[in-house]
Every structure is written in C-alpha cells, then in structure tokens.
Structure 1
C-alpha cells in the first residue's frame, strides 16, 4: 500500500469511527504528518518525536512482518505499523497515545488527572482488533505477524526490550515453562482438576517478566493466552462448540474488566476449574449416562488390562449393547478409545520424562512394546522414539 492521502484518510476514518486515537504518519523521507483526534501537550508531542528517533535507531521502523508496541515512561502506549508498497518501504502509521488502564504508577497525581482526561483507554483485546483492521486495510499480504514490545529508554540504561517469544528467561527456564504448560493442558483436557491445580503452583508457569513495570498487563496477557490454550486443549473431547464459545467469551470479558492482581490470579484458577468441569460434563459432550460412565471407567483404569467385556460387566450392561452405544456417540470403538487414552498419556510422558519407551508402554497399559509402538504410530503418524526426538 502506498502512503497516499486517500489511503491514509480511509484507514483514519475507519479507526476513528470506533476509537478516538491520534495518527502519526511518518514517511520514508522522515517527514511527519499528524491526524489528531485528541489535543496533546507540546511535551507529549516532543516525546513522540523522541520515540520515532529511538525506534529508527533500533531499526524497528522497517520491520515488515512485525507490529511494534511502544510504551513511554509515563505509560503512554503506541502501535507502530510498517507500510510497504510491494517490497518498497513507504513509512509508518503510528496510533496513540492510549492507555491499557487508568494510570497509577510513576507520575504525579496532577499528571495522572490531566492524562486520564484526554488519553483513551484501549484494552488488550481491542488492541488486537485494531491490529487486524489495520493489517486488513493495508492488504499487506502478511499472514503471521510477530509483536515487539519496547519501553522508552531510561537515562544511563539501555531500553527494556522484549520480544513476544522472549520472556526474559534462560533457555532452560523457557523449556521448563513449556513442559509445565503442556502438563497443565494435558490434565485439563483429561478433566483432572486435582493435578491441574498442583501444576498451577509452579513458579515457572506464571513468573513471566516481560513487563516488570506493568504487572496487571502481564497477568492479563498470560490469562488471555491460557484461556485460548485451555479452550483448544479441551476441544478434542467432542464438546459442543456452543459450550466452548460460552466459557471462552465469559472469561475473555472477565479478564478485561478486572484490574486487581489478586483477582486476576483467581480468574486463572477459575478458568481451569470451569474447563475441567466442561470435560467432565455429560450434557456438554452430548453423551448418555452409560457412555459417560464407560469413558470415566476407561480414564481411571487405562493402566490396567481392560476390555469391552470387563467394562460392560462393571456397568451391568450387555457388551454388544455397550459397544453399539459407544460407537454411535463417540464414533469410535471401545478398543480405539482405550488406545487413544493410553497413547495420549504416553505422549506426555515421552515429552516430559526420561523413561525408556518400553517402561512408558508398560506404565500406560501395554505389555507388548511392539504393539504399543504400532498403535502410537497409527494415531500420531510417527514412532514413539521419533516423537520424543522431534518434540
């Protein structure tokens, strides 16, 4: 897209009809044009010029596939988009200033009152909406954009610079965090609330220091991400989309409304509880009581030798009738379902433990390593050893 007046005006009019945001157009010849919805002090305007120079010095203005979020020392935020016409850099569209929540830190009371009067509050989910609108209207052709967060440089210090994929941890801690996260998702997708809550107490899961000066935003971002991951984790349990949408939307709104750190942490635990309940809820899955009881029996006893006949005996029903009902409702045979539960557990162990493959096979209910490997490959299209090697 070329930075022509009609193109800029189109984007500005669209965004301004929804959000009261100032636009700064920075051209490739370094000239600047302002489209103001809000009247700002000269001090803030001077700070904006410093911001542009700082981003230019860091070579962040020409990152085609990256959206840059800049935050000043006064907690004012800006969204910075790079504009290209094919492969030619045209300049930047910068939106802001705005706040994610009312100011509370690092400024005087009077400054806070003045800024709250003129600076709009743009919530985190609204930021994503603006991202999508701008990218769509620029027709950049970029499908997967990354995000960079930059804090204004402090005197005698380098800027606090955070990339979306870099949580300011060592490689070891990052790996540990993803391992714990996978365990949590596994327990939630199994409806295992007790073990899921045990995992949430691990420091590496929630100790994300991307924004040390903004703990509220930090926890909100984490909660929003986990809401999405938990939804996807339980999706494979044949749960009706209506129930998933309802819970996911409920928590998305609840996270946005809350600005108390302790209550936000409570929402995270509440999400785990609700998603586990959804997995264990017969109505949500659309299963009859008989099939639900069979599934629960399988999940509790998959490590032992169980067959259709033993499950039917436990539930006081004829094996043929149970097999028919189970296939009708789950679209799988009882033996297929048992294998899926076992192999799913094995997958977690392959990723998160150093146990030998034959030991894992025995642990999840297989006495024959070859049969375990054959079943694993049938479900995941790779052998247990290859899965461990590449994951």
Structure 2
C-alpha cells in the first residue's frame, strides 16, 4: 500500500515538475541508490558520500529534511522508518536558477576541473524547485503517505561555506552593523516585492518571495509565531494600499484584505505562514493582472469595472451594453479585441476564480458558493467549474483540506 502511494506521488512529480521521487530501504556504505541520479564523479568522492550517509543515519521519523547545497544537488528527505532505514527521497533539484555556489565547492570536495563540462550539463539538467513549491510538495506527501494526522517538523540541512568559519574578531562585525544590513535588505526586498506584484508578475513575485523566506524564516522552529503573523499583516496592508492606489473597486479588492487577515490570525506554524504568504501574493497578482483597466480603452475599462462590481449577478452582454450606452455588438467586438476573451468567457472565468477562493477558504456548501457567484444551478456550476479547473468543486476542495 505504501509503495503504491509513493509510486503515485512519483508519477505526479515526474509529470509536473520533472522531479524524481524514490523509496529506499536499507543504506549501504556507498549509497548505491544515488548512482541512478547523480554523476559518477560525485559518487567517487567518498568524503561527500560519507557526509551524506552520516546525515541520513541521524535523521528521525516524522521530520522533513530540506538538504541544500550538497555538490550533487538538493533533496527533500523523509525518514519513514529509522529502525529499517526506510527513506523517501525527492530530488535532486536546484533551489536557485544559479548554481555558482555549488561550482565554487569543486576544489573543496576534490573534483577535477576537467569535469567542469559534465558538471555544468548535470546542473542544467536538474529542475528548479522554489521554496514555495517545496512546501506544496511536502503537503502532498504528508496527505498521501501518512494515514494519521502527522505534524511534520522541518529541518534545514545547509552545507556550511568556508566563509562561515571566518574569524569574527578579525572583522569587528558588530550587532549594530548586522541589524543595519538586515533592515537595509528587508526594505529593498519589500520594495521589490511590491513592484513585482504591481506589475501582476507571479513569476518575479515568487522569486522575491523566496528571498524573503530566506531572510526571515531562518530558524528551524518558530517559538514566537506572533512576529511572523505581524510581518504578514504588514505585507497584507502594503498590498491593500497598492490596490487602493490603482483605484480598484471590485469584488476581490473589498474581500481580499480581510480574508487574509482572518487566515493570518488562524496560523499556528511557520509552514502555515509560508503557505498563506504564497497564496496571498498569488491572489494579489491575480487581482492586479485581471482587474487593472489602465491599459484598456475607456469603454472596455468601464465594462470590466461593471463586471467586477456585479459579479454576483447573472450578467448578460445586453445588460452591460445598456449600462454603457453602446450596442451589444460593438461592445463585444471591442472587449474581445482588447482582452482576448468574449464577455461571457471573461465573466465565467472570474466567477470560477472567486469560487476557488470560497472553496479554499470557507466551509460553505458548494450550492451556496454557486449562488454567491451568481450561479443558482449547482449542476451547471459544477460543469462550468470543471471546464476551467479540470476538476469538480468537490475535488478541488479536497486538495486544500
């Protein structure tokens, strides 16, 4: 049964992220199971292999180990059974698009520069997995591997660089200087995040978010969850101000801030904070990209604003055209030309997006959610939802529960 579940996870990760997932029972001295995924020149380095094996031996059950900056890549590792040395490995992957830090370690681990071409080729073949994706992967594993409700603990295993061992006294680095650098970097990332979200770019926003995670979430355990909640409240407020500056007056803008305030207050663990932060950035990016009307003509901009303000109603092209004092044909042609969608398709897409929020964040019955977005026929709502999301509302809700 366990092997079947792991096989299912492995197929999913391979298909969606080009990421390997495999189950190991029993550790030999050479860690021969790694031969299928890493370069032979890495396997020949006994020092690095011994270090990796020693780390595995000391792992404990019901912990997730995020292994960063080993020469042969990064791994997510879960010890399933310490007595029988059973492990679940996900990897190798890169946690950054750049791998210069790993290349700098070549001299340290004794690899020849004659192998540099194959090493470059190896790193380029590895998938890039951001920290936000790592969180999602672990959530999937937890829900599919464990029959009981397990509170997995996160342990970060980062390889120490040579500069980490510098004599502190020789540099006279004071606490004040470190605090100043931290604040300076914090302000820089805050500005960059707001800039990326303001452009509606999810990809760039996630890149900055990963850097923010590295800056703030450096502890393995969060004993003071309140400070992380306060930080998210700060970001939620910044993002709300961003919407206000852009003159947003739609259904999402009015509820987005409060919805995330409620979720932030309900957070109990660091992983909750990270998941909320990621979802919050994605939802604000969506609002910016979907509801910004500045790059549309006045007519289409007014149509989008009217749709956003009346999304809970059963809208029609004729009704919108009458409100704007134009013919339905002229409005439809202009809307399609500028947005790439027909008016009805655009309305349906927004209705389903709002439904995903309600399915994810509330316990409302599916029929009630349909009514909230202006679809009274629950069967039609389910068919429409499946058309856009490739799954039923019930299936979508189960993912987040």
Q: TM-score, normalised by structure 1?
A: 0.43
The structure with the larger Rg is 1
